[in-house]
Structure 1
Amino acid sequence: MNRTMGIILVTARGDVRNDGANLIDSPCQVFDGAMTSARGSVRLDTARLGVDAFRAGWAAQIGEASALPAFRAEATAGARVRGRAYRVGDAVVTDFATATPVRVDATFPDTADLRLYVVHRGSYVLRHARESVPVAAGQFLLHRSTGLTGYEVAAGTEARVIGLPAGALATGARVTGPAAAAEVRLLLGHADLMRAGLADLSDAGVRAGRDALVELVRGVAQRFLDDREPRLTASLVQTARALADRLLTEPELTPAMLARRLSVSVRTLHRAFAATGEPVATYIRRRRLEAAHDALLAPGGWSVSAVAAHWQFADSSHFSRAFRRHYGQTPARYARDRRS
């Protein structure tokens, strides 16, 4: 089972009394095929049970699927937070409410997991080494957690947190949008149904529910990447280029494959690259030629046919023509001249 998790945080409307009595408190279940008990739940009540009890319960019921930060005693002293978490396959759903401000300064695992924060009431501020990212009421934020160093939650915040495996989506762009969007409401509605019916589901039903969560998050990402692409162009292009660079030797590397891995439409990917003046396919071809160029000049020297096959050119003739257009010489002549 993939133990790296992403987080989706959603705050719910409603007043929070100091005792947190209006927090949803219906039975919640947890599924984890790797655990002895397939279903269970963990409760958070810092005023009555303390943080240590929650951490122990989380370890027993949730496991390492979504790691908790190392809360400092001074940071949690006096905090009044209530909540409940349950597991759906390798997804984790947590409802919580805080009657007091919460500030956490901790080192988080740098797993680049995906997190979606949706704030209807209260506020959430994510702190990174070089910036703080606020999530205002009525908005959501979707991005990777790389470099997260802490967070602040305002008093009166209610939230739902849905954790998904980091590998479930390859979206790398930062996305914002309204919390009331239809795609977000659909996601929350599905989470509610899963919480209410999890105890009665078969293992196959749990897997289907988990997969539906992933697809609903994908729907949020695709909707707002398409709608907000002018602001996301630079981030999307950077992420797509980095992914392409890792896959240059893969025969399946195409614009369509990149779009699928990044959870965006092919149209969105093409339009983002259009703003740079270099189409997606042109970037892939150029980077393959540059990698092939370096291989030709490496100690020991690759043969032209080996380079062509390794970097997925159709054949040696096709590679030689492309290389000559780019570097002005055939690969064999270029390598021979540079070595002499």
Structure 2
Amino acid sequence: MLHADYTFPNGLPGAQPRLIQQRSDRYTLHTLVDVGHHARRTARHVRQDPADHYRVFVPISGMAMARTGSNDGMMVPGVAVIGTPGVMEFSGSGLRGYILELPVRDISEPLRLSAPLSAQIDLRSGHGLMISDMIQNLSKWRDTLTGLDFDARCQDLAVLICKALGGDPQLSRAERGLLAPLARQRMRQRIRTDGARTLNPKALAADLGWSQRTLQSAMTEAGTTYSDMLRDERLEEAHRRLSQFHYQTVADVSEDCGFSSPGYFSTAFRGRYGETPRELQQRTRAARLGVPGAANRRISPHPPLARG
């Protein structure tokens, strides 16, 4: 538990915030689940828990005001706040997010800092986007990680944080391995917005905060290309819509997902899923009507006539 005083809106005595904690001898990750409270770490708490750590606040939803050292700042989704060791204070409502505690030397030595650091990192692109994704996955897979795994991932996070703060544009091969899944996520978002019709490799790279060359290298190392990834994500979105929304026509789904040719869409869809879009749509409609076994069997669009 993070040593601090907590005050809740309902004033429940002795209540504690909903924190999920992962901890090793070097690192701690607090996952905040819908916390609405005021927390203050005073000099007394520092004496009780004098560990020399930076705290990286990563809000996912909600808002909070943070004070670290002599600096005040608003914590909002998309921006990480790095708090100085020692005294800190924050308050907010409906706050969900993470607090990562890192040894001071993990930040100060690589950056050659002579004084405590208080800074912010943009989590929407570049190193920041990778940091946000890694922290969320670290919390998500907490039950499957060994202590060594946890420490290794926290060390990787410390390296990325230093690169973000120092403006280092280079990525290691392992770090490039994080980029392809993020590109896939961003493609998926654009497809659901406008079919990704205006998306291209240069625009996607800029959106992620990297050069086109870096993105291309990441995709090559992941065994794919921009065109293949975009086609696969469009097919996945089309399959999702045809499986869930029985009122959309196949032509509408094809167009909404960014396919310029209905014929190509049908051929690619059948090659991927073993049935045509229309066959999947008919199964979806039959299942909604309660036809027994409809969800698990393929229905021919033109059933044979019964022989008299």
TM-score of the superposition, structure 1-length normalised?
0.44
Higher relative contact order (CA 8 A, sep 6+): 1
